[in-house]
């Protein structure tokens, strides 16, 4: 069972939630998804997430977010936004970054109409604690999202759950 928290801007909440739900159903894995926003953050300080996705940090006060980050097992962060990296700076965490920049753990190598080639640039651990070495990963098919960030988030979970 994966307990997932999502920090993003309101216009992305539904898209991320629906895509994760669809992929977890395909993987036959159970999950609970909690959206973390200004209204809910004060109620989530003591919640321990298996995965915390920080797609877009919309909080003015990073101290609230840091409390949730410190209670999470794995942090998945969009590294293309500096405001996402600020609250995790100088913390010892299990972080997987994604983005279009060359320093991200998972980045895009190439894109065509029918496929995306992703590059896992650093080793990460699977949910079974096995090491997954750096590699190129091809995602193809008619269900490709127009949002490349969404594809990277989904790919991270597919990699972690040994589905790629």
CA dihedral 122, 117, 132, 145 (to 10 degrees): 110
pLDDT for 35: 95
Q: Which single residue is written with the structure tokens 């909690």?
A: 34
Q: Which single residue is written with the structure tokens 């739900």?
A: 21
Quick: pLDDT tens for 30-88: 999 999 998 899 899 889 999 999 999 988 777 889 999 999 999 999 999 999 998 88
pLDDT for 103: 92
Q: Which single residue is written with the structure tokens 């010892």?
A: 92
24 SS3 class: helix
Q: Where are the beta strands (DSSP E) in 37-153?
A: 51-54, 74-78, 95-99, 106-111, 115-120, 124-125, 131-132, 135-140
Q: CATH homologous superfamily for 2-99+147-160?
A: Response regulator (3.40.50.2300)
pTM (two decimals): 0.93
d(Cα 7, Cα 16) in Å, to the nearest integer? Answer: 10
Domain boundaries along the sequence of the chain: 2-99+147-160
Quick: pLDDT tens for 92-115: 889 999 999 999 999 999 988 888
pLDDT for 62: 75
Q: Does the pLDDT at position 142 exceed 70?
A: no
H or E segment to which residue 153 belongs: helix 148-160
């Amino acid at each position: 069972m994966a307990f997932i928290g999502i920090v993003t801007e309101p216009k992305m909440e539904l898209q991320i939630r629906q895509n994760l739900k669809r992929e977890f159903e395909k993987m036959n894995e159970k999950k609970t998804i909690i959206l973390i926003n200004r209204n809910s953050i004060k109620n989530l300080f003591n919640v321990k997430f298996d995965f915390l996705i920080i797609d877009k940090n919309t909080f003015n006060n990073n101290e609230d977010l840091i409390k949730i980050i410190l209670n999470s097992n794995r942090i998945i962060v969009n590294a293309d936004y500096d405001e996402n990296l600020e609250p995790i700076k100088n913390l010892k965490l299990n972080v997987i970054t994604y983005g279009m920049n060359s320093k991200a753990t998972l980045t895009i190598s190439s894109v065509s109409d029918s496929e995306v080639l992703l590059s896992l640039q650093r080793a990460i651990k699977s949910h079974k604690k096995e090491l997954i070495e750096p590699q190129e990963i091809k995602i193809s098919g008619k269900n490709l999202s127009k949002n490349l960030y969404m594809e990277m988030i989904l790919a991270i979970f597919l990699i972690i759950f040994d589905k790629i």
